[in-house]
Amino acid sequence: MTCCEGWTSCNGFSLLVLLLSGVALNAIPLIVNRLEEGEFFKNPISCFEWWFPGIIGAGLMAIPATTMSLAARKRACCNNRGGMFLSSFLNIITILGAVFCVLVSLQALFKGPLICNSPGNSTCEFSVDKLRIYPQSFNLQWYFNGSCVAPNSLNSSTTNDTMASDLKKYNLQEKRHKTIHLSVFVGLLLVGSLELVCALSQIVIGFLGCLCGVSKRRSRIV
């Protein structure tokens, strides 16, 4: 096995770990939402997990390149120049998915969890305009601030005891949602960034393998 095939195999294994990590991270807020609310699309931790940045972007779109790269371990599909070229071409899809994952993750970190934006909102709006990045607005104040704005329902409590109890329950939920939101989208940002590195390196290695050739299959002794 040449260095090109060896690096391709390593990239395939790395992409496999990353795509599984992306799917698992994306599933966390969906599962929490299901357990807390009993149904989907109602008061999610944030709307951005429904863009499926880890399941589609870092997951499904990385499968073709991962499969092709892992084939190098058995000297199968990548054991020729055409195969190495194809492994490079398929990583373009991986790059697109990784960029999508990174953009959605960055925007989710900008906005913070839904509980810090519009606590009473129960629907999610999906628009490409929401993926616009404004670097000057990047901060994590929503996480480091003591508390988000409490919902109006807390202000209508009839007694101080009831208000204090509701506020404590709200603060616990807020802290949990903040931690889940930050952990999930920082993780997806890291996954998308690493997939970009793997995909770009495989494009370079694939072209080198296409130009320089790869190892030949050992002929069977009859």
Q: Which one is predicted more confidently, 18 or 219?
A: 18
| pLDDT tens per residue across span 91-109 | 999 999 999 999 999 888 8
Instruction: Identify the DSSP state of 55.
Output: I
Q: Give the pLDDT confidence score for residue 222 in this predicted structure.
A: 32
Q: How many domains does the chain have?
A: 1
Domain span at residue 16?
A: 3-212
Question: Looking at the domain assignment, is residue 220 inside a domain?
Answer: no
Question: Looking at the domain assignment, is residue 7 inside a domain?
Answer: yes
Among 118, 8, 137, CA closest to 72: 8
Among 61, 84, 74, 76, CA closest to 204: 84
Query: Are the beta carbons of 216 and 29 closer than 8 angstroms?
Result: no
Cα–Cα distance between 184 and 48 in angstroms, integer?
Answer: 11
| pLDDT tens per residue across span 6-60 | 778 888 899 999 999 999 999 998 888 777 765 555 566 788 888 999 999 999 9
Question: Looking at the domain assignment, is residue 177 inside a domain?
Answer: yes
Write down the pTM of the prediction: 0.80
Question: Looking at the domain assignment, is residue 138 inside a domain?
Answer: yes
Question: Looking at the domain assignment, is residue 222 inside a domain?
Answer: no
